Amino acid sequence: MLRVPRSSTCLNCGYDLQGIAPDGKCPECGVRASVSRSGDALETAPLPYLLKLYWGAGLLRWAWVAFIAIVVVGCVQGLVADSVFRAAAMAVSAMFVCAEWLVTTQQPQRWRAPRGNAARLVVRAATCCRLVASVLNAVDVQSLQVFETGLVVVLSTIIGHVAISLYFRAMAVRIRDSEMVRAATSLIWLPAVVVVAGFVLANILGTLVAVATVVGLFLVLVRGYFTVIEQFRRGLSRAMDVAARRELAGQAPAAVGVVGSDED
Ligand SMILES: [Zn+2]
């Protein structure tokens, strides 16, 4: 069973809630004590914030579909003009940036950073690095020798992948989905397995077997991504249901100005 740490302080203002009744409210800011005591459960988060995560996860799914389409098209020589292909690749990159930015939206007004916050920040940093490097690459400032843009893209992709897997795992705990915790955990290690397996097999059994294995494992990786994204979207739907009911009942943290102040 998944354990979510319970908080004895107000998640909104940090007030010590010891001795406050289960149905009571924080004396400092008025947020229900039960919201803080539920730990980091995502269903206690404001609805507009949950909605942004949901849209981000949806866009991320389409970015992956577009990415696979690009890879397939790229494998067929001369199917599209080089300039068209490069423009499409840039559009897919932009989709990933938007999706990752949205899905890592900061939870508004939290006294204590929620679970997975460090991973969230690393995802954003890696996304920015990748974007800058790919733009520099596209406009060909390579000749200026600013830095090795290709290396930056590879490194930020690897770091970004590990970070977003850790972020999804943290979110899985917050939506109390142990299946998603497992799926996100295996997602962390899969690319390393792909690379190592490809390298070892290429040396032992030759290039063809290695390529087949890498392609197979890559499909497993993509499937893993889709699984995690779908589980996250389902969990978010449930959390949004709870949040919407709570806000309709007028018990929202919105009553103390938490909702709608998410500058990011
Ligand atoms: Zn409070």
The three state secondary structure string of 161-225 is HHHHHHHHHHHHHHCCCHHHHHHHHHHHHHHHHHHHHHHHHHHHCCHHHHHHHHHHHHHHHHHHH
Nearest one of 264, 238, 254 to 35, comparing CA atoms: 254
Tell me how far apart the alpha carbons of residues 37 and 43 are, in angstroms, rounded to a whole number: 12
Domain residues for the domain of 192 are 188-222
Residue 255 belongs to some domain of the structure: no
Tell me how far apart the alpha carbons of residues 231 and 259 are, in angstroms, rounded to a whole number: 25
Residue 232 belongs to some domain of the structure: no
Residue 172 belongs to some domain of the structure: yes
63 and 89 both lie in a single domain: yes
13 and 119 both lie in a single domain: no
- Return all residues near 257 (Cβ < 8 A) that are at least 6 apart: 109
Whose structure tokens read 């003009």? 81
Q: How far is the CA of 28 from the centre of ligand 1 (A)?
A: 5
Q: How far is the CA of 34 from the centre of ligand 1 (A)?
A: 11
CA atoms within 13 A on the CB side of 63: 22
27 and 69 both lie in a single domain: no
35 and 52 both lie in a single domain: no
164 and 50 both lie in a single domain: yes
Q: What is the pLDDT along the chain (264 residues), one digit of tens a residue?
A: 455 556 678 877 788 888 888 888 888 877 778 777 777 788 888 899 999 999 999 999 999 999 989 888 888 877 778 788 888 888 888 999 999 999 999 998 677 788 889 999 999 999 988 888 777 776 765 555 555 677 888 888 889 999 999 999 999 988 888 899 999 999 988 878 877 887 788 788 877 877 887 788 888 888 999 999 999 999 999 999 988 888 887 654 544 444 333 433
149 and 53 both lie in a single domain: yes
Q: How far is the CA of 252 from the centre of ligand 1 (A)?
A: 13
Q: How far is the CA of 33 from the centre of ligand 1 (A)?
A: 8
Q: What was the pLDDT predicted at 262?
A: 40
Q: What was the pLDDT predicted at 209?
A: 78
**pTM, 2 dp:** 0.80
Q: What was the pLDDT predicted at 145?
A: 52
51 and 164 both lie in a single domain: yes
Tell me how far apart the alpha carbons of residues 163 and 245 are, in angstroms, rounded to a whole number: 32
159 and 100 both lie in a single domain: yes
Q: What was the pLDDT predicted at 153?
A: 81
Q: What was the pLDDT predicted at 24?
A: 85
15 and 121 both lie in a single domain: no
Q: How far is the CA of 48 from the centre of ligand 1 (A)?
A: 20
Q: What was the pLDDT predicted at 263?
A: 38
Q: How far is the CA of 133 from the centre of ligand 1 (A)?
A: 43
79 and 170 both lie in a single domain: yes
56 and 158 both lie in a single domain: yes
Q: How far is the CA of 166 from the centre of ligand 1 (A)?
A: 29
C-alpha dist (Å) from residue 34 to 11, 15, 22, 252, 253: 10, 13, 6, 12, 12
- Determine contact, residues 167/53, Cβ cutoff 8 Å: no
Residue 263 belongs to some domain of the structure: no
74 and 165 both lie in a single domain: yes
Domain count, the chain: 3
> CA dihedral defined by 168, 172, 173, 179, rounded to 10 degrees?
-130
Q: What was the pLDDT predicted at 141?
A: 57
Residue 239 belongs to some domain of the structure: no
Tell me how far apart the alpha carbons of residues 46 and 255 are, in angstroms, rounded to a whole number: 11
